[in-house]
Amino acid sequence: MDDLQFRRAIYSDPKSQDEELLAAMDKDPNRQKIAHDMSLLDEKIKQALQVPVPDDLCNKLILRQTLATHQQHKRKKRLHLAMAASVAILGALFINYLQFNSAYNNLGDYSLAHVYHEAEHFADNGANANSRLISLASLNSKMATFNGNFTDVLGKLIFADYCRFGGMKSLHLVYQGKTSPVNVFIVPKDDQMTFIDKFSDQHLFGESAAFNQANVIVVGDKSESLNQWQDKLSKNINWTI
């Protein structure tokens, strides 16, 4: 698959699981970045489309329609409604675009957004999870990029691959937790991304640990003991100087 075919396919369906498409970006970091960026954009567009319409929008539209002539009133009614809806959507997209770069200005916010965006891909209680088990050797081949390696298996690892975290090449690990996946991010140090040691929302919470080589972030649901996960990570990761 050449670059033009790849871009057409990923632009039309950022979440496509087509085998040829996945194979095309498996060993190409640039294509992985394009796929990840398109997935984030696709998710933001979906969120923007869910912005509630203001309560008084209908009244404003009706008032505008009364300015038209009586003969054109019925014909233009639907057109104006469609135009108003388009303006509302475009306005939401524009606001979302302006806020994109500042929406996730710390490790916690970006981690939660990243986990929610990819949550549907990781169901740790089914056959798909078992088919994606990652070996320690495969994990360490990726950890070498960050000057580190795992000395032991921490649990059932169902996903390990590079990702874009705030524009940085990072490593995303997903372990099978007690009731849902536990996400681990190995993120290079970056002054543009504010470090935050603990964070949470209504469903998830996370902890960050700073090492000389990288930040290690763990995100899980309320049933997980993140202190234990961070302790296991700190004891099982060797960092090279």
Residues 183-218 have pLDDT tens digits of: 999 999 887 778 889 998 888 999 999 998 899 999
Please say whether the beta carbons of 160 and 148 come within 8 A: no
Q: Are residues 128 and 232 in the same domain?
A: yes
Q: Are residues 143 and 235 in the same domain?
A: yes
Tokens describing residue 8: 């057409």
CA angle 215, 150, 27 (to 5 degrees): 80
Q: Are residues 68 and 137 in the same domain?
A: no
Candidates 155, 127, 119, 157; CA nearest to 139 is 157
Say whether 131 sits in a helix, a strand or coil: coil
Alpha helices (runs of H) in 119-176, residue ranges in sequence order: 127-130, 136-143
Residues 198-207 have pLDDT tens digits of: 998 888 999 9
Q: Are residues 66 and 28 in the same domain?
A: no
Domain range spanning residue 93?
A: 57-101
Q: Are residues 13 and 87 in the same domain?
A: no
Beta bridge partners of 237: 150
CATH number at residue 128: 3.30.200.100
Place of tokens 């203001």: 54
Task: State the total domains in the chain.
Answer: 3
Residue 15 to residue 153: CA distance in whole angstroms? 30
Q: Are residues 17 and 90 in the same domain?
A: no
Residue 230 to residue 236: CA distance in whole angstroms? 10
Please say whether the beta carbons of 16 and 10 come within 8 A: yes
Alpha helices (runs of H) in the chain, residue ranges in sequence order: 3-12, 19-26, 29-49, 57-65, 73-103, 107-118, 127-130, 136-143, 226-236
Residue 111 to residue 114: CA distance in whole angstroms? 5
Candidates 104, 108, 100; CA nearest to 48 is 100
Q: Are residues 147 and 235 in the same domain?
A: yes
pLDDT at residue number 69: 63
Q: Are residues 183 and 117 in the same domain?
A: yes
Q: Are residues 212 and 130 in the same domain?
A: yes
Residue 124 to residue 104: CA distance in whole angstroms? 27
Q: Are residues 22 and 77 in the same domain?
A: no
DSSP tag of 187:
E
- pLDDT 10s per residue in the chain (241 long)? 677 777 787 777 877 777 777 787 777 888 778 878 888 887 778 777 776 767 677 777 777 777 666 556 656 666 666 666 665 665 544 444 333 344 567 888 889 988 988 877 775 444 444 456 788 999 999 999 999 999 998 889 989 999 988 788 999 999 998 888 999 999 998 877 788 899 988 889 999 999 988 999 999 998 899 999 999 999 999 998 6
Residue 81 to residue 194: CA distance in whole angstroms? 43
Q: Are residues 171 and 213 in the same domain?
A: yes
Say whether 147 sits in a helix, a strand or coil: coil
Q: Are residues 109 and 97 in the same domain?
A: no
